[in-house]
Structure 1
Amino acid sequence: MTPVLYRIVRATAGRALRIGWRPAVHGLEHLPAGGAVLAGNHLSVADELFLGAVVPRHIAFWAKAEYFRGHRLAGALVRGLGAIPVERGGGRAVLSAFDAAVPVLRAGGLVAVFPEGTRSPDGRLYRGRTGAVRLARQAGVPIVPFGVTGTDAVQPIDARWPRRVPGAEIGFRFGAPVDVAGGSVREATDEVIRHIAALSGQEYVPAYAPLLRLGR
């Protein structure tokens, strides 16, 4: 069930984003009717905003746990939108994010994950962390890769809100679902990243991206 706040935000802020920036969207027909993990590159905080605006279904985002523990208003907002807190440090703490996400996927919902684990510091695509594949396997759903472009121009690091930039174009390309049930988790993750690279057109860096601090 789509949270009430999510419906309100999509009908207001989401509509404003679609009208104001007119993002180009391709491949929505690849979204299955049932559950799926949406896995894409991460250029800007605006990625989540525009992804929620262009996909006509509720998306449960994995959000940094710092947002839930920070400002009271920010915590209430991410909870009301149906976001799932995730501890980026890994270990046992990250399992709570899986516990919350798996029922959503098994019930036919969508969960968005950015395998790089943080925003790209320089516009390139970095090595993927294995959480998206592990989540898809545990829930028994496919991964739908997507590539986003242009969001780093309209909301670069340290910008509080998206802005209108002449010539900047936002685009989303969704690929066909990827079955990640076979092979090693690392191999499956690398395959997903290859699909994302093809959709986003980014240069690939075979190393993990440095984690950005909250607020950056």
Structure 2
Amino acid sequence: MKFLYYIYQVCIVLPILLVITILTALITIAGCTLGSAHFWGYYPGKIWSRLVCFFLLIRVKVNGKENIKGKTSYVFVANHQGSFDIFLIYGYLGRNFKWMMKKGIRKIPFVGKACAEAGHIFVDRSGPRKVLETIQKTKATLTEGTSVVVFPEGARSFSGHMGYFKKGAFQLADDLQLAVVPLTIDGSFDILPRTGKWIHRHNMILTIHKPIPPKGKGTKNIQEILEESYKEIESSIPQKHKGMVLNPDQD
């Protein structure tokens, strides 16, 4: 069955996904240029992500949708198991949001331009001034119930385990006094490990935990929410992936 699934990927799914990815990027670029980036920067990507999972026969389950309220801005933080984290969150979180992503994505043909037009935030760590500019742009984005999604590990896992969390997302939440919502991703690593070359059929689960409101303001608040978020995310990870494993390229 695995061999048949590999043939299906290459002969049927890959051409389809290539076409719908380019179409999604073009629709996003045109929509954001002529209309509202709030709408066109989110819904085409949401549909694209669901189509990817549909054509690859990947089932998705979402737990905890009742934990988030409409028209409320949040800072969502998630573990980063693999490439399919993008499709899981974009397609099934059910919230209009912007990604905080590596600036290298801007160079990907069609996709980079679409992300820029959609208002997603490219993180530039080349110097303190660039970091400050990134934070200011993110603050301006968090309006009208729009949220931001961050992978605080900063890089995909090599093992399925979580690495350490960087403080950037929690600093942003502290500055704006927004609640942090931990998200647990399970199954993405089994579909396509970072070092893998083939997609494996596997279910994915997205667990939306209860928002963690600010407990104050400043360094203590940032550290407490970071630690609480880490524990919440890890609580819904299968036993085989529990425990921190340092990721060599997080820095």
Q: TM-score, normalised by structure 2?
A: 0.73
Structure 1, gaps ≥5 residues long: none
Alignment partners' CA distance in 1, 2:250 and 2:117: 25
RMSD of equivalent CA atoms = 2.5
Measure how far apart 1:123 and its partner are.
1.0
- Return closer, same or farther for 1:192/1:88 CA change in 2, 3 Å cut-off: farther
Amino acid at match of 2:114: L
Partner of residue 204 from structure 2, selected from 163, 166, 170: 170
1:204 is aligned to 2:240: no
Greater alpha carbon shift after TM alignment, 179-188 vs 138-147? 179-188
1:54 is aligned to 2:92: yes
- Return closer, same or farther for 1:211/1:37 CA change in 2, 3 Å cut-off: same
TM alignment of 1:45-194, pairs within 5 A: 45-68=83-106, 70-88=107-125, 91-158=128-195, 163-165=199-201, 168-182=202-216, 183-194=220-231
- Return closer, same or farther for 1:157/1:90 CA change in 2, 3 Å cut-off: farther
- Return closer, same or farther for 1:46/1:86 CA change in 2, 3 Å cut-off: same
Structure 2, gaps ≥5 residues long: 1-36
**Larger RCO (CA within 8 A; separation ≥ 6):** 1
Alignment partners' CA distance in 2, 1:164 and 1:43: 14
User: Are the aligned partners of 1:116 and 1:128 in contact in 2 as well (CA < 8 Å)?
Assistant: yes
Match of 1:40 in 2: 78
Secondary structure class of the residue paired with 1:204: coil
Measure how far apart 1:174 and its partner are.
0.7
Measure how far apart 1:90 and its partner are.
6.4
Greater alpha carbon shift after TM alignment, 174-183 vs 11-20? 11-20
Secondary structure class of the residue paired with 2:77: strand
Secondary structure class of the residue paired with 1:78: helix
Measure how far apart 1:39 and its partner are.
0.6
Amino acid at match of 1:145: P
Measure how far apart 1:131 and its partner are.
0.9
- Return closer, same or farther for 1:210/1:77 CA change in 2, 3 Å cut-off: farther
User: Are the aligned partners of 2:212 and 2:225 in contact in 1 as well (CA < 8 Å)?
Assistant: no
Match of 1:7 in 2: 43
Percent identical? 22
**Which structure features the higher share of helix residues?**
2
- Return closer, same or farther for 1:146/1:22 CA change in 2, 3 Å cut-off: same
Alignment partners' CA distance in 1, 2:95 and 2:145: 11
